[in-house]
Chains A and B, each alone.
Chain A
Amino acid sequence: MLSPAQRPPEPQPEQVSGARLVVEALERAGAEYIFGYPGGAIMPVYDALTGSSLKHILVRHEQAAALAADAYARVTGKAGVCLATSGPGATNLITGIANAFMDSVPMVAITGQVPTTLMGTDAFQEIDTFGLMMPIVKHSFLVRDPANIPHVFAQAFRIATSGRPGPVLIDLPKNVTNGFAPRCEPPSPQPQPPAFDGAAIAAADALIAAASKPLLYVGGGVAMAGAEEALRRFVARTAIPSVATLKGLGSIPTDDPTFIGMLGMHGSRAANIAVEECDLLICIGARFDDRATGKLASFAPNAKVIHLDADPSEIGKLRRAEVGFAGDIVAALDAFEATPDVGGWLAHCQGRKRLWAPRYDAPGQGIYAPALLKTLADKAGDGAIFTCDVGLHQMWVAQHCRFSRPQAHLTSGGLGTMGYGVPAGIGALLAEPDATVITVSGDGSFMMNVQELATLRRYRLPLKIVLIDNSQLGMVRQWQELFFEENFSEIDLSDNPDFSEVAHAFGIEAFTIDHRSQVAGAIDRLLGTSGPILMHVRIDPRENVWPLVPPNSPNVEMLEKRW
Chain B
Amino acid sequence: MTARLDVDFTPAEGAMLRILGLIERRGYRIRELILAERPAHTSSLSILIEAHDAGRQPDTVARQLGNLFDVSSVTLSPSQQSACP
Contact = CB atoms under 8 A, between A and B. Distances in A.
Interface of A: 130-131, 134-135, 138-142, 144, 159, 163-164, 311-313, 315-317
Contact of B17 (A131, A315, A316): A131
B21 A134 contact: yes
A141 B14 CA distance: 9
A144 B63 CA distance: 30
Interface string B54-74: 000101100110111100000
Contact of B60 (A144, A164, A317): A317
Contacts of B17: 131, 134
B14 A313 contact: no
Interface residues of B, number: 15
B14 A135 contact: no
Nearest to A313: B63
B41 interface: no
A134 to B, nearest CB: 6
A141 B12 CA distance: 9
Given A139-B69, A311-B67, A316 B14 contact: no
A312 B14 contact: no
Contacts of A138: 69
Nearest to B18: A134
A131 B21 CA distance: 10
Given A130-B13, A142-B14, A135 B21 contact: yes
B13 A312 contact: no
B75 to A, nearest CB: 15
A101 to B, nearest CB: 12
A282 B60 CA distance: 20
A313 B13 contact: no
Contacts, number: 36
11 contacts: A134-B17, A134-B21, A139-B68, A139-B69, A142-B14, A144-B13, A159-B69, A315-B63, A316-B60, A317-B57, A317-B60
Interface centre among A139, A164, A316 (most CB of B within 10 A): A139
Contact of B63 (A131, A141, A163, A312): A312
Given A130-B13, A134-B14, A141-B13, A313 B67 contact: yes
Contacts of A144: 13
A231 B60 CA distance: 27
B66 A135 contact: no
Nearest to A315: B63
Contacts of B57: 316-317
A507 B69 CA distance: 47
Contacts of A317: 57, 60
A100 B43 CA distance: 31
A317 B57 CA distance: 8
A313 B69 contact: no
Nearest to A164: B67
A135 B25 contact: yes
A313 B58 CA distance: 11
Contacts of A131: 14, 17
A313 B66 contact: yes
A313 B71 CA distance: 14
A135 B25 CA distance: 8
A78 B68 CA distance: 21
B21 A313 contact: no
Nearest to B67: A313
Interface centre among A140, A144, A164 (most CB of B within 10 A): A140
A313 B64 contact: yes
A243 to B, nearest CB: 25
Nearest to B62: A313
Contacts of B25: 135
Given A131-B14, A311-B67, 12 more contacts: A130-B13, A142-B13, A144-B13, A163-B67, A164-B67, A312-B63, A312-B66, A312-B67, A313-B67, A316-B57, A316-B59, A316-B60
B64 A130 contact: no
B11 to A, nearest CB: 14
Contacts of B63: 312-313, 315
A312 B67 CA distance: 8
Contacts of B67: 163-164, 311-313
